[in-house]
Amino acid sequence: MGSAPVTAKVQHLTKASSDELLKKFAEVGSGSTAKKELSQLAKRRHHHRKYLDSCKRQEVLPNSTVLSWFYEAKTQKSIYQKCNMVIILDDLKDADFSPLIDVFLAIDSSEIDAVDIIQESHCAINKDHVMSLLRTINSKLRIIDLKDMSLVDDFFCFVSVLS
């Protein structure tokens, strides 16, 4: 008594079609809660696109690890968890910082709840890039784990300026 195989059909939509579908759902769900959820869904859907657009503008190849961080954040939000992003500095090259900073400048403060910045090893990393990223994320910083003592010193100088 085996069951019949189930087949599913996946339809891929263009951005325009997807946006139109979101608008139709918004019209059907006339309650403010439905509109708010759809608006948040549309915003979350664009984080990776904002990153890719920024990479294109700056003529930088996108970092697949950075894209996976945005995907993980999107997954957390989709199951109504707090959206906590973990940035591993060891996975970034100098060219990755500017597009990443652009995205954080564009992200609405309610879209990501907290950001952890972790440096797992003593890798060669540009302090100015790291400090720019820290300044951009600012109030969303939750955990900062830095191995490079000069970065730690710069971070404490940054914190003392905020106080």
* Residue extents of the structural domains in the chain: 17-162
| Choice between 12 and 134, residue whose per-residue pLDDT is larger | 134
| Choice between 26 and 157, residue whose per-residue pLDDT is larger | 157
State the pTM of this model. 0.63
pLDDT digits (tens, 9 = 90+) for 61-101: 999 999 888 888 778 777 777 888 899 999 999 999 999 99
Q: Which residues contact 152 (CB under 8 A, 6 or more apart)?
A: 146
Q: What is the mean pLDDT of the chain?
A: 74
Q: Which pLDDT score is estimated for 84?
A: 86
One-letter identity of residue 12: H
Q: Which pLDDT score is estimated for 10?
A: 47
155: confidence class by pLDDT, cuts 50, 70, 90: low
> Given a cut of 80, is residue 51 above it in pLDDT?
yes
DSSP string, 111-126: T--EEEEE--S-----
Three-state SS for 57-78 is HCCCCCCHHHHHHHHHHHHHHH
HSE (CB half, 13 Å, CA atoms) of 25?
A: 15
18: confidence class by pLDDT, cuts 50, 70, 90: low
Q: Strands (DSSP E) along 6-140, which ranges?
A: 84-88, 114-118
Q: Which residues contact 95 (CB under 8 A, 6 or more apart)?
A: 58, 60, 61
